[in-house]
Structure 1
Amino acid sequence: MSAVQKFSDERLMKVLLAPVISEKATFVAEKNEQVVFLVAPDATKPEIKAAVEMLFKVQVESVQVANRIGKQKRSGRFTGRRNHTKRAFVSLQPGQEINFTEEAK
């Protein structure tokens, strides 16, 4: 039984929110052959792995997650906080790659 079959397709479609396209994410992608995604706050590593394998038809080697605390911000005398986010650093098997510039088929 593969990792994709353990979870419902509906849940896996909600796990990955967006790819992170930034200077740091690009550097990580080139150096460590990883892809960075913004994921749901309650997503687990097995769910992230299954979602990436299902959506992009690639083999995932490992997943590392980082919880990012939202910054404190002020507007006049009122303080607030940006939302907390969770990022997933997905390592792909050698020879695999995800190209976001291609149009989805």
Structure 2
Amino acid sequence: MELALWILTIIWIAGIPVGVFAFVHAAVQRADAFTAVDKLNKLAWLAITAVAALVLIFATLGPFTIIWIAGLIASLVYIVDVRPKLKEVQGRSW
């Protein structure tokens, strides 16, 4: 069981910059780009990624594990699904 705890801890620590990156990226994008790629609007993605980043930063392992996993998944959905489409529409490199 100790190995599982170490793995979860590593994923949690690695997830913190992922959540912060997702929020910062959503914050600097144009609002019309979100509707152009047929996704939720900018305010919705800002709220989702902000809550996800806060959860990843402040939730601890134990009873809150499922909450930070949900935060990590929300951040990863933004990075894997929304970010590439925004890059395609705006022509930005990052």
Whether the TM-score (by the shorter chain) exceeds 0.5 is no
TM-score by length of 1: 0.30
Who wins on radius of gyration, i.e. which is larger?
A: 1
Question: Which has the larger helix fraction?
Answer: 2
Higher relative contact order, chain-length normalized (CA < 8 Å, sep 6+): 2
TM-score by length of 2: 0.32
